[in-house]
């Protein structure tokens, strides 16, 4: 049977949210136009959200509803394949309100507009408040929403109110904990949806399905059979007009605390009792707590940070990080980090997890590679065990979402002709078309009240507690300089040589995706 046909013999269960509306703060910004509005439109066209639905955009930019609807149409045209009638029908469900986020009058007007839109479209079931605004505004906006009575839920949670916030969730443990306390003064944890778009990607979600819906993998998913794990999040781009944010944050804060640690957690967690949100998130917290904290010695031997120099990416010359607009000439902000981590529990003791992320690398790719141990003995004399490549299971997160398994197989020809054979599954080829955008999954889950793929406060705080000692050592300099040495790498390469040495000391090497 054709593998593409086999893949289509599947069971699909998708729930429909109750009638609701979504209020997008920062509706005139880049995230709304590039991701949120197109994702909501795609959900609406695919009939995954009810016809009783509306969008109310809110921002400081002066704009009429008619002008906002033009922006909605333009955003859909850029990102979606849409029939004119579908686009128009969706745009009619969009309205706009301009105002100052610190002005109580904005929230009084918002309450009136929200009630009017809910009545007009029959969407009194609930409301999502999406904060696509700078993190410094999370607390003030949530506080004013509460003061205006907009976060109050009815008896039994109907109508419901939910708030979505984007990363970064603080810049260290203290600020993350303070943000959590500020928001939870007026919101229950069940109302807070901390979004990490990586968790909405099909392949990241497929980690749990691959492990726990297939008897062939989970028995091998432990220290007896796994040699090591590599997690890569590579970007070919530079700052893309984000110099102000990136200079303050750096790569470790930007990628490790959320994306990479969450991919590690989903790869390494114990089987949850069920696929219910808190069952999964309990196991995420448990495995993060089992990650071995970095010691002073680890900072020298288990971490590498780098900054890109001038080079060439995709055949185009690119400047050094320090020559980018908005970057200090003597900046010590890292654009690359590689780390070796250990998980001190029964399943993973002794198995190294190698994590790396960087900017201006050869190509954009995110993947999780599980490298299995070599065969202990070769019966194929004169071939030795070291002549046989270990099996590797690769989960491609982006851009070509899918799964690949490399095994050893006989090649045509001589009796002892053995080589790598890769069995590859690609979402685009098997299921046809592009996988849904991560924001589609996450927005739908928020409307359904499913927090499985959203971060919980305790997971955020555990992540920061692992990184705080590193950030502190890097910021001190002086005698700690060796722990925080900033290595240069040419743009268009896979990072500094010291990152290769990180694995080389263990007799391993980085995969080239």
Catalytic residues: 259
For residues 308 and 324, is the Cβ–Cβ distance under 8 A?
A: no
For residues 36 and 24, is the Cβ–Cβ distance under 8 A?
A: yes
Residue 241 CB neighbour total at 10 angstroms = 12
For residues 465 and 458, is the Cβ–Cβ distance under 8 A?
A: no
CA dist., res. 438 & res. 262, Å (int): 15
Bridge-based pairing of strands 226-234 and 353-358 is parallel
Read off the DSSP letter of residue 16.
P
CA dist., res. 199 & res. 484, Å (int): 30
CA dist., res. 15 & res. 447, Å (int): 10
Query: Which of helix, strand or coil describes residue 223?
Result: coil
Q: Specify the residue for token string 């990241």.
A: 204
CA dist., res. 424 & res. 435, Å (int): 16
CA dist., res. 457 & res. 238, Å (int): 30
Cα dihedral sign, 261-369-334-303: positive
Q: Specify the residue for token string 């997008």.
A: 24
CA dist., res. 238 & res. 137, Å (int): 26
Q: Specify the residue for token string 């919101």.
A: 187
Distances in Å between the Cα of 180 and the Cα atoms of 75, 149, 174, 188, 356 are 33, 20, 10, 11, 28
Q: Specify the residue for token string 């505004």.
A: 137
Both tokens of 258, joined, read: 């959320």
CA dist., res. 372 & res. 390, Å (int): 6
């Amino acid at each position: 049977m054709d593998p593409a046909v086999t893949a289509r013999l599947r069971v699909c269960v998708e729930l429909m949210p109750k009638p609701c509306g979504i209020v997008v703060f920062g509706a005139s910004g880049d995230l709304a136009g590039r991701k949120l509005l197109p994702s909501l439109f795609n959900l609406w066209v695919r009939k995954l959200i009810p016809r009783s639905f509306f969008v109310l955009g809110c921002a400081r930019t002066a704009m009429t509803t008619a002008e906002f609807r033009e922006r909605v149409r333009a955003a859909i045209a850029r990102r979606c394949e849409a029939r004119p009638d579908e686009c128009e029908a969706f745009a009619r469900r969009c309205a706009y309100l301009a105002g100052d986020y610190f002005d109580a009058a904005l929230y009084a007007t918002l309450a009136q507009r929200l009630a009017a839109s809910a009545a007009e479209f029959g969407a009194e079931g609930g409301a999502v408040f999406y904060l696509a605004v700078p993190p410094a505004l999370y607390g003030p906006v949530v506080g004013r929403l509460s003061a205006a009575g907009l976060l109050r839920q009815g008896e039994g949670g109907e109508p419901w109110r939910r708030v979505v916030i984007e990363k970064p969730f603080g810049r260290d443990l203290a600020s993350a904990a303070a943000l959590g306390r500020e928001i939870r003064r007026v919101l229950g944890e069940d109302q807070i949806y901390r979004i990490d778009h990586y968790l909405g990607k099909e392949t990241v979600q497929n980690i749990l399905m691959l492990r726990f819906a297939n008897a062939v993998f989970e028995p091998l998913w432990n220290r007896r059979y796994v040699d090591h794990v590599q997690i890569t999040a590579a970007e070919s781009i530079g700052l893309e007009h984000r110099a102000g944010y990136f200079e303050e944050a750096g790569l470790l804060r930007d990628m490790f605390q959320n994306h990479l640690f969450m991919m590690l957690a989903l790869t390494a967690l114990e089987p949850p009792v069920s696929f219910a949100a808190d069952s999964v998130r309990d196991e995420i917290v448990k495995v993060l707590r089992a990650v071995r904290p970095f010691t002073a010695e680890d900072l020298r031997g288990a971490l590498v940070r780098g900054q890109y120099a001038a080079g060439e990416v995709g055949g185009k010359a690119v400047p050094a990080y320090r020559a980018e607009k908005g970057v200090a000439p003597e900046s010590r902000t890292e654009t690359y980090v590689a780390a070796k981590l250990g998980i001190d529990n029964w399943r993973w003791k002794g198995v190294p997890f190698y994590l790396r992320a960087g900017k201006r690398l050869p190509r954009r790719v995110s993947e999780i590679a599980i490298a299995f141990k070599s065969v202990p003995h070769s019966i194929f004399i004169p071939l030795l065990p070291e002549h046989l490549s270990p099996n590797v299971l690769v989960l491609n997160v982006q851009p070509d979402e899918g799964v690949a398994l490399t095994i050893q197989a006989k090649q045509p020809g001589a009796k002892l002709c053995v080589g790598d054979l890769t069995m590859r599954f690609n979402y685009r080829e098997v299921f046809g078309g592009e996988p849904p955008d991560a924001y589609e999954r996450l927005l739908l889950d928020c409307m359904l009240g499913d927090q499985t793929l959203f971060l919980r406060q305790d997971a955020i705080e555990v992540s920061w507690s692992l990184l705080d000692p590193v950030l502190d050592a890097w910021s001190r300099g002086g005698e700690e300089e060796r722990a925080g040495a900033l290595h240069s790498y040419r743009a268009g390469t896979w990072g500094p040589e010291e990152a290769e040495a990180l694995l080389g000391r263990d007799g391993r090497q980085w995969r080239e995706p």
